[in-house]
Amino acid sequence: MCCDSRVINNIIVKYRHPILRLDDMLDELHGAIIFLKVDLKSGYNQVRIKEGDEWKIAFKTKRFVPNFSILASPLDELVKKTVEFIWGDKQERAFLALKDKLTHAPLLALPDISRTFELECDASRVEFLEQFPYVIKYKKGKNNVVADALSRRHTLLVALGSQILGFDHIKEFYSNDFEFNESYTHCLAKPQGGFYVSEGYLYKEGRICIPQGSIRKLLVKESHEGGLMGNFGVEKTISFLKDKFFWPHMRRDVESFFSRCIACLQVKSKVMPHGPDTPLPVANSPWVDISMNFILGLPRTQRGVDSIFMVVDRFSKMAHFIPCHKIDDASNIARLLFKEVVKLHGLPKTIVSNRDTKFLSHFWKTLWSKLGTKLLFSTTCHP
């Protein structure tokens, strides 16, 4: 909970006192043996307030209260200009009812079957509700926010509503579809082999048969990535489809779609990383292991330099800051390194650097290979 304290801050009389120094506090505690923190947890809410100023720390809270206007109507009447302020039993009951609603959060509980209760759900629960006596009251989908969006998805698809393009016309495709033509023709007379026809649609063991066409691709796309599905893998997508639909070679179609899904190819790539990070060797003497980098983007000086070539000893942390130009190539950087560092400290055994083009050049690698110095590179985009 967050409270806006600007109003109370404006009316509080401010006082100032020096903050105790740590040394003074330790002197005060000298000789003490027992220390308590009983009131430490709730200390903020136990600050003493001057009598009569309690109203200053009151604050408002927001919580949805069903039928608030009806419950508060006796109290609203009292604030009207033409009504005399009389606090009676009606106002007291309204006040206590609102107080109870605001101070007691609603709790979820199992329904009491012996009593009448209200249930908000979507149409997918109708079969389960058949075992109970109930009265249905229709509620628009946009207002029925309690219903689970995931449970709506395949209910919507199975309902064959006009919202799904082409679903109303799949009845016409059965007779010309080479995969379902024979089964559809025989099932018009009587069911066979798990197939049957209902309301013009062909079903196999309770699952609607989908003839060839773009509707298959639509269903695969919807089950794999549509709405809240979250780009599931091949097996989970197939399990969603097999629960309500049937067509031959469903797995082949799902795997084909999965292989072309850009999001899956990016997130679920099978490319393995280069391997675990390898720590740098621990330096054990000065100027044997060094690291280097550049500081760029500096104002240009009168001598024309605009960057700093930084060389740090990994053992002593001593550093040399060498003025340079941003456009200096590997040969110029090597010249500066020998002039300012190698001349004073000798050749290093290892050099740690980033993957700048200067440090990856053939000249740089060949130079230090001839001198017996090992080049180590930090991870890409590593500070």
Domain identity same for 229 and 320: no
The answer to whether residues 332 and 324 touch, using CB atoms and an 8 Å cutoff, is: yes
Domain identity same for 220 and 177: yes
Tell me if 11 is assigned to some domain: yes
Identify the weakest region by mean pLDDT among 93-97, 147-151, 224-228, 283-287: 147-151
Measured on CA atoms in the order 296, 306, 343, 320, is the torsion positive or negative?
negative
The answer to whether residues 246 and 208 touch, using CB atoms and an 8 Å cutoff, is: yes
- The CATH number assigned to the domain holding 294 equals 3.30.420.10
Domain identity same for 250 and 212: yes
Give the Cα-Cα-Cα angle 17, 19, 22 (nearest 5 degrees): 155
Domain identity same for 303 and 337: yes
User: How many domains does the chain contain in total?
Assistant: 3
Of all residues in the chain, what percent carry a pLDDT higher than 70? 76
The band of 345, judged by pLDDT with boundaries at 50, 70 and 90, is very high
Tell me if 261 is assigned to some domain: yes
Domain identity same for 241 and 327: no
pLDDT of 29-43, one tens digit each?
778 888 776 655 555
Tell me if 199 is assigned to some domain: yes
Q: Residue 28: how many CB atoms within 10 A of its CB? A: 10
Tell me if 155 is assigned to some domain: no
The answer to whether residues 293 and 354 touch, using CB atoms and an 8 Å cutoff, is: yes
* Residue bearing the bigger pLDDT, 9 or 128: 9
DSSP at 83:
S
DSSP at 330:
H
Domain identity same for 220 and 302: no
Q: What is the mean pLDDT of residues 230-244?
A: 82
Domain identity same for 71 and 23: yes
pLDDT at residue 8, as a whole number = 76
Domain identity same for 10 and 94: yes
CA dist 155 → 196, 318, 381 (Å): 20, 70, 48
pLDDT at residue 143, as a whole number = 64
pLDDT at residue 309, as a whole number = 94
The band of 161, judged by pLDDT with boundaries at 50, 70 and 90, is very low
Domain identity same for 255 and 326: no
Q: Residue 58: how many CB atoms within 10 A of its CB? A: 7
- The CATH number assigned to the domain holding 263 equals 1.10.340.70
Domain identity same for 211 and 249: yes
Q: What is the mean pLDDT of residues 270-283?
A: 68
| SS3 category, 56 | helix
Examine the fold and report which residue of 221, 236, 267 is the final residue of a domain before the chain moves on: 267
Q: What is the mean pLDDT of the chain?
A: 79
Tell me if 130 is assigned to some domain: no
Domain range enclosing 100: 5-32+54-104
Tell me if 373 is assigned to some domain: yes
Single-letter residue type at 155: T
Domain identity same for 99 and 18: yes
Instruction: Say which residues have a Cβ less than 8 Å from residue 139's Cβ, sequence separation at least 6.
Output: 120
